[in-house]
Chain A
Amino acid sequence: MSEHFDAIVVGAGPSGNAAAYTMAKAGLSVLQIDRGEYPGSKNVQGAILYADALERIIPDFREDAPLERHVVEQRIWMLDDRAHTGTHYRSDDFNEARPNRYTILRAQFDKWFSKKVREAGALVITETTVTGLVRNEAGAVIGVQTDREGGPVFARVVVLAEGVNGLVAQRAGLRPELKPNHVALAVKETHFLSEEKVQERFNLAGEDDGVVIEVLGTVTSGMVGTGFLYTNKESISIGVGCLVSDYAETGMAPYELLDRFKRHPSVAPLLRGSEMKEYVAHLIPEGGYNAIPKLTGDGWLIVGDAGQFVNAVHREGSNLAMTTGRMAAEAIIALRKADLPVSEANLKIYRDALAESFVMQDMKKYRHLPATLEKNRDALFGAYPRALSSALQTLFRVDGTAKRDKEKQMLGIVKKSRGSWWAVATDMFKVARAWR
């Protein structure tokens, strides 16, 4: 006889864990299936944990979750080839009892999260790939087929938390294939550096304080993307990611980009003497609002990266994953309690919850940005960063030039970078409109 569950969750990433945990906690019978050797063995992230999203699922997570450092300082750097222009925001207010952001190591964090899911009562099986969806005569999804013997497993609903590639949904014809310009390829290295050195180099008072640096500009060699550098307890995570379509066009290799980033005069001293422990790569959905596939149907729904839920501008993804996972679970729980079928019509409560939350509102806010960035790539990821650096160097170099002449030179640099003031104004207008 085959098994029947209230819900099957495909994938053990942040969205799948959030969904499985929330449903199991509410007493639903939940089966979570992951293809990795252990739950989350395929998961990769920068990684920053956004406390709020997790707090709404596991309020007391700070008691036993493996956290590295809480973020007390945010830096944003604009790089050109030899310089960086940056802003630092640090506040002692971030040293609070319930800090807002943490750096984490996903290998450890995911192990913890999966343990919570199992403790909540979900069944978790690994090394098992979901190969297809099982449908009834009416076309509603009623279960999954796996790559193991023993036939299909059935459920009232299948939660597709399968990550960026979305192969199950794609194979089932629920979504189109990923477009190269809707997905970034990020590479990351973790470098061991002693706790004292991390604190010294980043001017950190305590062993739990951390700094994150988000990096824009020529770090991507003119491609659409960003870099980052995060401080962990006794290691540093450093990475860079760009659109897959841009890699294809330029022929650049991701590791070359990362090597160049590491050699940058502003970055190299931070890494000096460190030892590389880990090298990983992962795809990030960056197509934004316009790339979101159909999210619900009879007997299925999509959460997390599989739904393109990433706010590329603010480097948020795992929080959207956890939030969509939780909202999907809450919708399923409500339908279960009312003894209603998990149909597309009834899943309106999931779609509404998303629309009313920051998730869809943020996705919608930046919906024009991916296309704007892509179209104005050369200006935004090359010309402007160089002009900014050059203009500031002109300002700060004391060489007997009168300040009024310096200002003229600086304006000249900016104008020259785009040919005319009209072009500069147009760029600013386009970005501002996409940002709005």
Chain B
Amino acid sequence: MTDDLTGNPPKPDTTGLNIVVCIKQVPDSAQIRVHPVTNTIMRQGVPTIINPYDLYALEEALRLRDQYGGAVTVLCMGPPMAEDALRRALGLGADRAVLITDRRFAGSDTLATSFALATALTTIAQDRPIDIVFTGKQTIDGDTAQVGPGIARRLGLNQLTYVSAIDSIDLGKRELVVRRRAEGGVQVLQSRLPCLITVMEGINDLRRGSIQDLLRAARADVTVWSAEQAGVTNPMMCGLRGSPTVVKKVFAPSPRSEPAEMVTTEAKRPAQVAEAVLDLLFARNPKLEADLAARKGA
């Protein structure tokens, strides 16, 4: 994959598939903390990761590239530090990375985000038409699953959501067959290229990039575009101004369970111990006792 002498990526394959994977950098949900006073998420010092669903999308894209040839570009909208996420994607084997970052993107909801990404995709497609756009099925911080479909709608792409397998691609006919997780079963769908695919978790096992992939990623220049460079001509469609969604209130949820309580009893026999536990349960929840008594009576 790498030209070792210069460390530059090889010239992108102009045959095969031109794939773009949209990724998002999210706080590692396992390590998120809520500020005790302001109730906002404390992002400082919290490690960030690539949205886990997006990694499945990236791996699926890399597999298609390895099988059919072509190139994989990763695209991300976010603050300058999102470059880390893109570099990580390069280390996994992506060929090119584009970050669109601009103060004007700040505060974007899903409508404004899909607008910005769709605009950047259009700009990317000027070099060579895109065959497939991949996204994860949703992000773990927003959980809306709206951005992928939003991009498809704006670019007029067939949208294949919740895809659990890509069965085949016919480059000659420019068609592909995928499996889609649907309510009550699996749909097998045939679609034209180009299309947008949102990917289910578990569709594949993520690869580990080789040492050469990592070195290339460490050296690579991530393409950084401002809103204007990404092709945005109407800033009113971006960021806070382009976002009809309003966050009305942020609060920390109260703990779901009450603290555990120790039941102490002098009883020795198991039945007596059980009795003591039941007494406490019924004392806390009289309705439970009444319901049980009623059922016993019936």
Number of A-B contacts (CB under 8 A): 50
CA separation between A136 and B17, bound complex, in Å?
A: 44
A376 touches B (CB below 8 Å): no
Query: Nearest B residue to A193 by beta-carbon distance?
Result: B36
Minimum Cβ distance to chain B for residue A263 (Å): 19
Query: Nearest A residue to B210 by beta-carbon distance?
Result: A150
Query: Nearest A residue to B33 by beta-carbon distance?
Result: A277
B211 touches A (CB below 8 Å): yes
Chain A residues whose CB sits within 8 angstroms of the CB of B215 once the complex forms? 3, 31, 123, 125, 153
Minimum Cβ distance to chain A for residue B84 (Å): 7
Q: Are the C-beta atoms of A153 and B211 separated by less than 8 Å?
A: yes
Chain B residues whose CB sits within 8 angstroms of the CB of A153 once the complex forms? 211, 215
Q: Are the C-beta atoms of B47 and A123 separated by less than 8 Å?
A: no
Minimum Cβ distance to chain B for residue A59 (Å): 25
B155 touches A (CB below 8 Å): no
Q: Are the C-beta atoms of A38 and B4 separated by less than 8 Å?
A: no
B5 touches A (CB below 8 Å): yes
A128 touches B (CB below 8 Å): yes
Number of interface residues of B (CB under 8 A): 21
Q: Are the C-beta atoms of B47 and A150 separated by less than 8 Å?
A: no
A107 touches B (CB below 8 Å): yes
Q: Are the C-beta atoms of B211 and A149 separated by less than 8 Å?
A: yes
Query: Nearest B residue to A277 by beta-carbon distance?
Result: B33
Residue of A41, A105, A125 near B214 (CB, 8 A) is: A125
Q: Are the C-beta atoms of B4 and A2 separated by less than 8 Å?
A: yes
A340 touches B (CB below 8 Å): no
- Interface of chain B residues 25 through 41 with chain A (CB within 8 A): 33, 36-37
A148 touches B (CB below 8 Å): yes
With A3-B4, A277-B33 already in contact, the answer to whether A128 and B211 are too (CB < 8 A) is yes
Chain B residues whose CB sits within 8 angstroms of the CB of A3 once the complex forms? 4, 211-212, 215
- Interface of chain B residues 198 through 214 with chain A (CB within 8 A): 208-214
B44 touches A (CB below 8 Å): yes
Minimum Cβ distance to chain B for residue A285 (Å): 26
Q: Are the C-beta atoms of A148 and B84 separated by less than 8 Å?
A: no
Residue of A1, A151, A275 near B211 (CB, 8 A) is: A151
Minimum Cβ distance to chain A for residue B148 (Å): 26
Interface string of B27-64 (1 = CB under 8 A from A): 00000010011000000110100000000000000000
Interface string of B83-111 (1 = CB under 8 A from A): 01000000100000000000000000000
Q: Are the C-beta atoms of A128 and B47 separated by less than 8 Å?
A: no
Q: Are the C-beta atoms of B36 and A192 separated by less than 8 Å?
A: yes
Chain B residues whose CB sits within 8 angstroms of the CB of A1 once the complex forms? 4-5
A108 touches B (CB below 8 Å): yes
Chain B residues whose CB sits within 8 angstroms of the CB of A192 once the complex forms? 36
Chain B residues whose CB sits within 8 angstroms of the CB of A108 once the complex forms? 44-45
B218 touches A (CB below 8 Å): yes
Is chain A's interface secondary structure helix, strand, loop, or mixed overall?
loop
CA separation between A235 and B147, bound complex, in Å?
A: 38
Chain B residues whose CB sits within 8 angstroms of the CB of A74 once the complex forms? none
Query: Nearest B residue to A106 by beta-carbon distance?
Result: B45
Q: Are the C-beta atoms of B33 and A194 separated by less than 8 Å?
A: no
Residue of B33, B36, B211 near A148 (CB, 8 A) is: B211
A37 touches B (CB below 8 Å): yes
Q: Are the C-beta atoms of A125 and B91 separated by less than 8 Å?
A: yes
CA separation between A188 and B208, bound complex, in Å?
A: 33
Q: Are the C-beta atoms of B214 and A128 separated by less than 8 Å?
A: yes
With A1-B4, A38-B84 already in contact, the answer to whether A148 and B214 are too (CB < 8 A) is yes
Q: Are the C-beta atoms of B37 and A194 separated by less than 8 Å?
A: yes
- Interface of chain A residues 102 through 126 with chain B (CB within 8 A): 105, 107-108, 123-125
Query: Nearest B residue to A118 by beta-carbon distance?
Result: B218
Query: Nearest B residue to A194 by beta-carbon distance?
Result: B37
Chain B residues whose CB sits within 8 angstroms of the CB of A146 once the complex forms? 211
CA separation between A194 and B217, bound complex, in Å?
A: 41
Chain B residues whose CB sits within 8 angstroms of the CB of A194 once the complex forms? 37
With A2-B4, A123-B215 already in contact, the answer to whether A38 and B44 are too (CB < 8 A) is no
Chain B residues whose CB sits within 8 angstroms of the CB of A277 once the complex forms? 33
Query: Nearest A residue to B217 by beta-carbon distance?
Result: A125
Residue of A107, A124, A150 near B212 (CB, 8 A) is: A150
B219 touches A (CB below 8 Å): yes
Q: Are the C-beta atoms of A37 and B214 separated by less than 8 Å?
A: no
Residue of B5, B33, B209, B218 near A123 (CB, 8 A) is: B218
Chain A residues whose CB sits within 8 angstroms of the CB of B219 once the complex forms? 123
Q: Are the C-beta atoms of B209 and A107 separated by less than 8 Å?
A: no
Minimum Cβ distance to chain A for residue B33 (Å): 6
Interface string of A28-66 (1 = CB under 8 A from B): 000100000110010000000000000000000000000
Interface string of A1-39 (1 = CB under 8 A from B): 111000000000000000000000000000100000110
Residue of B47, B209, B210, B217 near A37 (CB, 8 A) is: B47
Chain A residues whose CB sits within 8 angstroms of the CB of B91 once the complex forms? 125
**Residue picked from A1, A148, A151, most chain B C-beta under 10 Å:** A148
CA separation between A128 and B213, bound complex, in Å?
A: 12
CA separation between A123 and B220, bound complex, in Å?
A: 10
Chain B residues whose CB sits within 8 angstroms of the CB of A127 once the complex forms? 208
Chain B residues whose CB sits within 8 angstroms of the CB of A124 once the complex forms? 218
Give 23 CB contacts A-B under 8 Å. A3-B211, A3-B212, A31-B215, A37-B47, A38-B47, A105-B45, A123-B218, A123-B219, A124-B218, A125-B91, A125-B211, A127-B208, A128-B211, A128-B214, A146-B211, A148-B208, A148-B211, A150-B212, A150-B213, A151-B211, A153-B215, A194-B37, A277-B33
- Since A108-B44, A148-B210 are in contact, a sample of 13 more A-B pairs with Cβ atoms closer than 8 Å, ordered by chain A residue number, is A2-B4, A3-B212, A3-B215, A123-B215, A123-B218, A124-B218, A125-B211, A125-B217, A125-B218, A127-B208, A128-B211, A146-B211, A148-B211
